[in-house]
Amino acid sequence: MKEQLIKALNEGLKGLEKKYRTDLSSLKIDLTENKEKSFGDYSSNLALVASKQLSVDPKKIAEKLLEELVKQDFIERIDVAGPGFINIFLSQASRTEILETISKEKNRFGFKVGKNLKKEKILIEYVSSNPTGPLHVGHGRGAAFGSTLSNIFRANGHEVDEEYYVNDQGRQVDILALSVWFRYLQKFNNKITFPNKCYKGKYIKLLAKTLEDDFKPSKAEETELLNSLSLDLEEEDLDKLIIKSKEVLNERFETIKSFALNNILKTIKDDLKDFGVAHINWFKESSMFASSKNEASQIEEAISILNKNNYIYKKDGALWFRSTDFDDEKDRVVKRENGLTTYFASDIAYHANKYKRGYTKIINIWGADHHGYLPRVRAAMAALGEDTNKFEVVFIQFANLIRGGKKVSMSTRGGDFISLNELIEEVTSEAARFFYINRKGNQHLDFDLDLAKEESKDNPLYYVQYAHARICSVFQKLKESKRSYKESIAVKSLESLKGEKEVEIQRLLSQFPEVIARSEKNFEPHLVCYYLRMLAGVFHSYYNSEKILVEEESELQAKLLMLSAVRQVIFNGLKILGISAPKSM
């Protein structure tokens, strides 16, 4: 309906252009849906805007625009208010038309599908937590956001790949291997003190227990390690301990690292699956390194291209990327003086790899603490000659877990955290998904565990799912009373749906496609949650104040068609969120 009104106003503008011989194509048509129905269903200030450009009385402009609008049979009447506001009142038939549309389109309602759709190939990378421990509740928000955004794009007909970038190289995974090995060593010698800078979670002890008994060092090696160990290790001392451990274990250090990584990655995949998240691609950082000395790595290739484009220089024995040429605050090291490439160099190669795969849109979902990382990555892509307009980053704020009104603290290295799996077990994956998505991604979120478990109207997910279940119960009661739903009668009786709440329900139903479109365009899946809560609220109010299963057949069938439409839209919305629509509660 909104599209049809905008089209009609556009035709009116063309008439103004002919009359005043002026180009008005730059004017933006602002059409607002009114909450106060005494001012009509929609209002537009187009006459006021056009009058400024034409230097003509806005009321005269409005009258000219009305000539086009009055041709539309879906408009009941039009008023010109104040200095020239156009208030549009829709006909009853145009309001109820949405119910027939939903009945016809069913699971497709709300989504852009068809031959005219501009189909895109989209890559969404999200979560990508370092595989140094299980996912905790802090990772859940990005997981729910990325999964839901992927659902929205896919439902609108786009081809979507969901990807997890696995940082399986570098210092952090070395610390992981060291952590597992020292827990393992404690099984044989309780005098060995666990390094204070290593990962301390229970999962490290569990990994050490399952490690095969062929990594035990000799007595001389053990003594050498004990001499290297201190309770007050600083980060640089930890690096020395990693080097010493690699000397003692040789290739066995890599075996421990691989063992720990594979086990943690399996746990991450299992937890995400339980959370309704299924990444299509698991891209390992290690895949970009050369497998032999004669082979150039993807990282070296990316640095080479940057060098050819005159964006690399040498300083203090290291290679630097001229990131400041692209408005970054400072230049960035891509290769250290010891010849090792940096994490940033890997990220350059990784994003270059994304572009090579031919995506029309590349979306990263990052934690809010990565804001400062965007300029350098965008700079690197520009320096490589890639189209940075294809590259989007959505920043997700942290989520605080609240239990009993108090915040729960978390630390991965310290081992003090609540895993995503534990959260799922406590509140269910569906409640967790909804609560994570139920707030705009760039806003802080306090996840109230107690509320997520409540079966009351205060729990937004329960409130929405209960609306769907309530409608199902209406149709069940209808069946039990030996009556049936007859759509053919319903579509002929829609003029009876004139009540204030009935009109409000129809208005909300017509908004669903626009909500989905905005969610996709602005990367805001929380809008779906907001919408479903609003629709459920209006429905519950209607259900509590009106008798549904009335005796009069035509009125009954009209109400049933409207309830069926509400049920369908709630189902479609919950499906986008990756949440079920229960038939009973």
CB–CB of 327/316 below 8 Å? no
pTM above 0.85, yes or no: yes
CB–CB of 296/290 below 8 Å? yes
Q: Point out the least confidently predicted range of 234-248, 470-484, 536-550, 553-567.
A: 234-248
What pLDDT was estimated at residue 231?
Answer: 47
Sheet bearing 42-44, strands edge to edge: 31-33, 42-44, 85-90, 75-81
Q: What is the CATH number of domain 2-90?
A: 3.30.1360.70
3-state DSSP assignment of residue 159: strand
- Please choose, from the candidates 468, 484, 452, 457, the residue with its C-alpha nearest in 3D space to the C-alpha of residue 557: 484
Q: Point out the least confidently predicted range of 166-170, 246-250, 411-415.
A: 411-415
Taking residues 261-270, what's their average pLDDT? 97
Do 289-396 and 2-90 fall under one CATH topology?
no
- pLDDT above 70 covers what percent of the chain? 94
In sequence order, the β-bridge partners of residue 446 are 400
Of the candidate CATH numbers 3.40.50.620, 3.20.20.150, 3.40.50.300, 3.30.1300.10, the domain formed by 289-396 belongs to 3.40.50.620
- pLDDT grade for 128, boundaries at 50, 70 and 90: very high
Q: What tens digit of pLDDT does each residue of 74-101 get?
A: 787 888 888 888 888 887 777 899 999 9
- 177 vs 204: CA distance, rounded Å: 9
Q: What is the 8-class DSSP label of residue 370? A: G
Q: Which residues of 361-394 are buried (b: 16+ CB within 10 A; e: fewer)?
A: bbbbbbbeeeeebebbbbbbbbbbebeeebbebb
CB–CB of 566/535 below 8 Å? yes
CB–CB of 123/357 below 8 Å? yes
Amino acid at 251: E
Of the candidate CATH numbers 3.40.50.720, 3.30.43.10, 3.40.228.10, 1.10.730.10, the domain formed by 456-576 belongs to 1.10.730.10
- 541 vs 11: CA distance, rounded Å: 40
Residue 406: its H or E element = strand 406-408
Amino acid at 25: S
* Residue 456 CB contacts under 8 Å (≥ 6 apart), including other chains: 462
Q: Which residue has the tokens 């996912």?
A: 135
Break the chain into its structural domains and give their ranges.
2-90, 171-267, 289-396, 456-576
Helix 202-210, helix 251-274: angle, nearest 10 = 120
Q: To the nearest whole number, what is the mean pLDDT of the chain?
A: 90
Q: Give me the phi and psi of 381, to 5 degrees please.
A: -65, -40
Taking residues 269-298, what's their average pLDDT? 90
Cα angle 291, 297, 302; round to 5: 170
- Dihedral sign for Cα atoms in the order 178, 179, 181, 186: positive
Q: What tens digit of pLDDT does each residue of 220-252 get?
A: 766 666 666 654 566 677 888 898 888 888 888
